A and B are shown apart, each in its own frame.
Chain A
């Protein structure tokens, strides 16, 4: 357990989000501590992606407040806020007309980094995400799905943000590649200790990657548990998930050994 006095890096305070007739989120409260990977787990429509987008203000809550590093995110300057948060989405969204190098180097570039510092950083990041250096000069359409998402992660890490928001980043990949990338994510986290909010509907992934799992259903937070506790939980929804995902979840929960 982290010392109670530390300010959470991200804090959702009484968040509600309503769109037209639908209440997408209600009474959402959650704290994310430094270095944690909090996984938002739920089915589609549970509000998990919406919660993520509220952090970097791609969406604005109907009521409630989000604090990033103790400061309400509405008070922080929008562009500076977003540049200080790494954002990785399922479709990756690499700029097709930029090389891998320019894609990764974009945020540093607009942040005013000198060209050689950027080049060094790109080399560093490519190595970190397990890509060969020659990939730097390729274009996104020349890469495989797995390579693209690695570039996506590298891009998100480029300016060394403290926070990473990841929205089902490995969801569109084949199982083998997904497994690889999950493993590499864990290694990266061991190295970098970023504060990560990770959205998924896959319990196995949640158990493997999360330090805590926040289970969501119909816009409400049902329970927040560490992976091992999740497996033993008596909560109705949590058990339903465990049953639905069948065998072999124990090893996922023991991610340190996989």
Chain B
């Protein structure tokens, strides 16, 4: 097929754009985990805050991504570098699945286990790190998986504001009216999403407690 020959002939650039794409997805997922997991733990322990936090994350999700990129452009420091901006926006979009799954995972821990643990004299942090988190890891990872797959897709739009990545091929192909170029961006992006889904899914299953 024409496309695959094109990809092979330009494999250097395809690889470069793929790495750029991974950088956008990687950093944003990392930041979303660093913010979202602790936040999910907090609202699981203090249900009073769960509505405002989950509602905020939900609202962010409903903002169309291109619009969010546009909003953030005039912001000083952020707007100066498109990749910073894109990473921030992608982080925001990754928050909801991660916060929500962390919350669900931790609330899902058997109440009897928590009561026994507390009654035994485990400190709150021992309970968190030795009981709650290990028992929730699979659910939390499933949230991460959703976040990564969403990010791979959104990162293609980030090329529209100059953040690079596989979306650049797509936009270039549109401007050149050249299908091969479009697909040279779309196919690797789709493959990335599938790979991430599969890879994190594998990890989820491996880490599932009995």
Q: A79-B121, A107-B121 are in contact. Are A92 and B116 (CB under 8 A)?
A: yes
Q: A91-B112, A94-B113, A97-B134 are in contact. Are A83 and B121 (CB under 8 A)?
A: yes
The answer to whether A79 touches B115, judged by C-beta atoms less than 8 angstroms apart, is no
The answer to whether B210 touches A93, judged by C-beta atoms less than 8 angstroms apart, is no
The answer to whether A79 touches B123, judged by C-beta atoms less than 8 angstroms apart, is yes
The answer to whether B116 touches A93, judged by C-beta atoms less than 8 angstroms apart, is yes
Cα–Cα distance between A94 and B119 once the two chains are bound (Å): 12
A165 surroundings in chain B (CB, below 8 A): 119
B209 surroundings in chain A (CB, below 8 A): 96-97
B120 surroundings in chain A (CB, below 8 A): 82-83, 87, 106-107, 155-156
For A95, give its contact among B115, B117, B121, B123 (CB under 8 Å). B117
The answer to whether A58 touches B118, judged by C-beta atoms less than 8 angstroms apart, is yes
For B110, give its contact among A56, A58, A87, A93 (CB under 8 Å). A93
Mask of B96-132 contacts with A, CB within 8 angstroms, 1/0? 0000000000000010111111111111001000010
The answer to whether A93 touches B113, judged by C-beta atoms less than 8 angstroms apart, is yes
Q: Is B135 an interface residue (CB 8 A)?
A: yes
**Minimum distance in angstroms from B31 CB to a CB of chain A:** 28
Mask of A147-178 contacts with B, CB within 8 angstroms, 1/0? 00000100110000000010000000000000
The answer to whether B119 touches A82, judged by C-beta atoms less than 8 angstroms apart, is yes
Majority-rule SS of B interface residues: helix
Cα–Cα distance between A156 and B116 once the two chains are bound (Å): 10
B123 surroundings in chain A (CB, below 8 A): 79
Q: Considering only CB atoms and an 8 Å cut-off, how many residues of chain B contact the other chain?
A: 19
A80 surroundings in chain B (CB, below 8 A): 121
The answer to whether B113 touches A96, judged by C-beta atoms less than 8 angstroms apart, is yes
Cα–Cα distance between A196 and B113 once the two chains are bound (Å): 22
Q: Give the total number of A-B pairs whose CB atoms are below 8 A apart.
A: 62
For B126, give its contact among A93, A110, A156 (CB under 8 Å). A110
Closest to B124 in A: A79
**Minimum distance in angstroms from A167 CB to a CB of chain B:** 9
Q: Is A128 an interface residue (CB 8 A)?
A: no
**Minimum distance in angstroms from B124 CB to a CB of chain A:** 10
In the complex, which residues 71-121 of chain A have their Cβ closer than 8 Å to any Cβ of chain B?
Answer: 79-85, 87, 89, 91-97, 106-107, 110
Cα–Cα distance between A82 and B122 once the two chains are bound (Å): 8
Mask of A122-147 contacts with B, CB within 8 angstroms, 1/0? 00000000000000000101000000
B118 surroundings in chain A (CB, below 8 A): 58, 82
Closest to B109 in A: A96
B113 surroundings in chain A (CB, below 8 A): 93-96
Q: A97-B134, A141-B210 are in contact. Are A89 and B115 (CB under 8 A)?
A: yes
The answer to whether A81 touches B210, judged by C-beta atoms less than 8 angstroms apart, is no
Cα–Cα distance between A61 and B135 once the two chains are bound (Å): 32
Most-contacted residue by chain B among A58, A79, A93 (CB, 10 A): A93
Cα–Cα distance between A91 and B117 once the two chains are bound (Å): 12
For B112, give its contact among A93, A110, A139 (CB under 8 Å). A93
Closest to B110 in A: A93
Q: A58-B115, A92-B116, A95-B117 are in contact. Are A110 and B210 (CB under 8 A)?
A: no
**Minimum distance in angstroms from A61 CB to a CB of chain B:** 17
B114 surroundings in chain A (CB, below 8 A): 93
**Minimum distance in angstroms from B80 CB to a CB of chain A:** 47
For B119, give its contact among A58, A95, A96 (CB under 8 Å). A58
Closest to B119 in A: A87
- Give chain B's interface residues, CB within 8 Å of chain A: 110, 112-123, 126, 131, 134-135, 209-210
Q: Across the A-B interface, give the 8 residue pairs with the lowest CB-CB distance, nearest first.
A: A93-B116, A82-B121, A83-B121, A87-B119, A91-B112, A93-B112, A97-B209, A93-B113
* 7 new A-B contacts at CB < 8 Å, known A58-B118, A81-B121, A97-B134: A80-B121, A92-B116, A93-B113, A93-B114, A96-B113, A106-B122, A110-B122
- Chosen A-B contacts, 24 in total, with CB atoms closer than 8 Å, are A56-B119, A58-B118, A58-B119, A79-B121, A79-B123, A82-B120, A83-B120, A84-B121, A85-B119, A87-B116, A89-B115, A92-B116, A93-B110, A93-B112, A93-B113, A93-B115, A95-B117, A95-B131, A96-B110, A96-B209, A107-B120, A139-B210, A152-B116, A165-B119
